[in-house]
């Protein structure tokens, strides 16, 4: 495999695992995330040379513009940066809701738009959003904000896929089930380990790992999936077939 | 910030919408309430965060049994 792929959220969890996997397959990667040290750690685990790092906050449009200006042409972009916060409906406030919608929906959208406007996405390239079963397929108590953001993502990929089809640019999403990643480890205060263990038993194949997402992501970003666009692939260890 | 046990109990019962709670004694076990589930825990943690600006971990809360112990945890965190 060859070409250059931009990975957001490459400083931890799923984004880190995707970056490592893509490097092993021979891609050059552009890693972005807020924490430079963690991005450098990801880089230290990767194969090959010529990967680059852009450290910054994708909620800042100046950073998006700067990175889109400086970046070399891309064969793909994988939006894996995401945040979650569980709050019962009546405790949700505008500030928390904005934070989640900004990071999970608006930032990846405006980054994609900037890359397209600056003609950094080559024809035949692939745009992939790491989404969720939460929102598009299932609901769970307390997960309203995250579910709203992921349902929106699964909506926009269909429109983008149509608008970009002339350029043979493909746009897809992975609706992942519970992946016990850094996003959970770092931010979860409301679910105890006992509750997580009980929840994992509801998954026929158990909770997923970041590497499970990385395998599917590397397929969807490659030319091996050249007739797949506007699709959401469910990756949930059998959870939603029950 | 001063919060009395009665005020705390009021907020607690509003958060999980269980009026019966107002009759509870300080040494009553909140986890044995009929209406208690994991969503109740999430609601209580969210209420404490919103009302008092304090983040309590589910792990810590689930180690406790009585309403008074939870109230003490809150007072010690303020």
The model's pLDDT over A39-50, given as tens digits with 9 standing for 90+, comes to 999 999 999 999
- How far separated are the first and last CA of chain B, in Å rounded? 7
User: Would you list which residues of chain B are within 8 Å, Cβ to Cβ, of chain A?
Assistant: 38-39, 41-43, 45-47, 49-50, 55-59, 62
Q: Does domain B5-77 have CATH number 3.40.50.1370?
A: no
Rounded Cα–Cα distance for residues A75 and A218 (Å): 12
Please give the model's pTM, rounded to 2 decimal places.
0.92
pLDDT of residue B1: 63
| Residue A186: pLDDT over 80 | no
The model's pLDDT over A58-110, given as tens digits with 9 standing for 90+, comes to 999 999 999 999 999 999 999 999 999 999 999 999 999 999 999 999 999 99
Backbone angles phi, psi at B35, to 5 degrees: -85, 0
Nearest to A33 by CA among A42, A24, A20: A42
CB A187 within 8 A of CB A143: no
Active site residue A27: no
CB A106 within 8 A of CB A206: no
CB contact under 8 A, B42 and A86: yes
| Of the partner residues B38, B45, B47, the one whose CB lies closest to the CB of residue A195 | B38
For range A196-221, the mean pLDDT: 95
ipTM of the complex: 0.83
| Helix, strand, or coil (residue A108) | helix
Tell me the domains of chain A and their CATH numbers: 4-241 (3.40.50.720)
């Amino acid at each position: 495999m060859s070409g250059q792929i931009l990975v957001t959220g490459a400083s931890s969890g799923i984004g880190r695992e995707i970056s490592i996997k893509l490097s092993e397959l021979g891609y050059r990667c552009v890693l972005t995330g807020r924490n430079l040290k963690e991005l450098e750690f990801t880089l230290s685990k990767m194969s090959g040379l010529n990967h680059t790092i852009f450290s910054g906050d994708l909620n800042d449009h100046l950073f998006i513009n700067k990175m889109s200006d400086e970046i070399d042409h891309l064969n793909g972009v994988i939006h894996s940066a995401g945040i979650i916060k569980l709050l019962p409906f009546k405790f949700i406030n505008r500030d928390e809701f904005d934070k989640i919608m900004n990071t999970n929906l608006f930032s990846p959208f405006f980054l994609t738009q900037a890359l397209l406007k600056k003609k950094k996405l080559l024809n035949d390239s692939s745009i992939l959003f790491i989404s969720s079963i939460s929102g598009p397929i299932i609901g769970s108590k307390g997960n309203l904000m995250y579910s709203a953001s992921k349902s929106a993502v699964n909506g926009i990929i269909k429109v983008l896929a149509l608008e970009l089809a002339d350029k043979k640019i493909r746009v897809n999403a992975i609706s992942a089930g519970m992946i016990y990643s850094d996003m959970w480890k770092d931010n979860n205060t409301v679910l105890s380990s006992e509750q997580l263990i009980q929840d994992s038993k509801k998954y026929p194949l158990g909770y997923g790992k970041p590497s499970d997402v990385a395998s599917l992501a590397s397929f969807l970003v490659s030319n091996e999936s050249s007739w797949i666009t506007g699709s959401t692939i469910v990756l949930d260890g059998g959870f939603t077939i029950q | 910030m001063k919060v009395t046990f009665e005020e705390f109990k009021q907020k607690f019962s509003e958060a999980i919408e269980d009026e019966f709670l107002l009759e509870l004694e300080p040494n009553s076990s909140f986890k044995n309430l009929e209406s208690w589930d994991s969503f109740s825990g999430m609601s209580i943690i969210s209420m404490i965060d919103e009302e008092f600006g304090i983040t309590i971990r589910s792990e810590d809360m689930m180690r406790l049994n009585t309403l008074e112990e939870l109230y003490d945890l809150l007072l010690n965190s303020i």
